[in-house]
Amino acid sequence: PAVIQAVLSNGTLPDAVAAKALAYIRSELLSSDDSDRQSAQSPLPNSLACQWLKVWLLRKNRMNHQEVPILEEYNFNLPSTAYHCGGLMAVYAAIQKAAMPDVNTGIVERYYASAIQMPALVIGQLSSRSNHHLEKIENGWLADKYREKLQEISVALGTSIPATLNLEQQSYFALGYYQMGAKLNQERNRNVAAAREKTGAAEE
């Protein structure tokens, strides 16, 4: 009823919407199965849950007279350190997946729950691990692309990583992770398709 009332009155959605969406995302990401591990792509948060988070944030920002540009794809200019922390984690997860495709328990399963609550405690550890994983990636071009992404996000993030994140910041973190993860998956699919086209042309 509270959600319906908010929609009818064009008001803010209750905080329970964000809390439940975040809990659902966390539950899905931490319960990976064999198909997730065998996939060449990193797991992404549930898209519908992310849409709820986006609507909750947009309405909350509008009521507070804040114009925060939450776009359909990753926005390097978005002024949210929590958002860019989520983006960093998506790149770290993709790097590990490329370096260790058969790993049983990945970065997401091990660190997502901690990173979304206490990023300052986790991001440094993931950065060190990513350097090791980058060295294992045989495709030098791909490794360089990941380094470029890390650099771009680090510039957007700045030098300050929050010690803890509140409900609003956790929502930005989840959106940043989702949008960067989706961007990386799309780029990977395009590269795979292009490589197959080249192979097919060569065979003809």
State residue 151's pLDDT score. 95
Instruction: Give the global pTM.
Output: 0.87
pLDDT value, residue 115:
96
**SS3 of 137, please?**
coil
Q: What is the tens place of the pLDDT at every residue in 108-130?
A: 889 999 999 999 999 999 999 89
pLDDT tops 90 at residue 188 = no
For 64-100, the pLDDT digits (tens) are 777 777 878 999 999 999 999 999 999 999 999 999 8
Exposure letters 88-106 (e unless 16+ CB within 10 A, then b): bbbbbbbbbbbbeeeeeeb
SS3 content of the chain, % helix, strand, coil (to 5): 70, 0, 30
39 or 97, which is more confident: 97
Q: Which of 51-60, 95-104, 109-118, 189-198 has the lowest mean pLDDT?
A: 189-198
pLDDT (0 to 100) of residue 38: 53
What is the widest separation between alpha-carbon atoms in the chain? 62
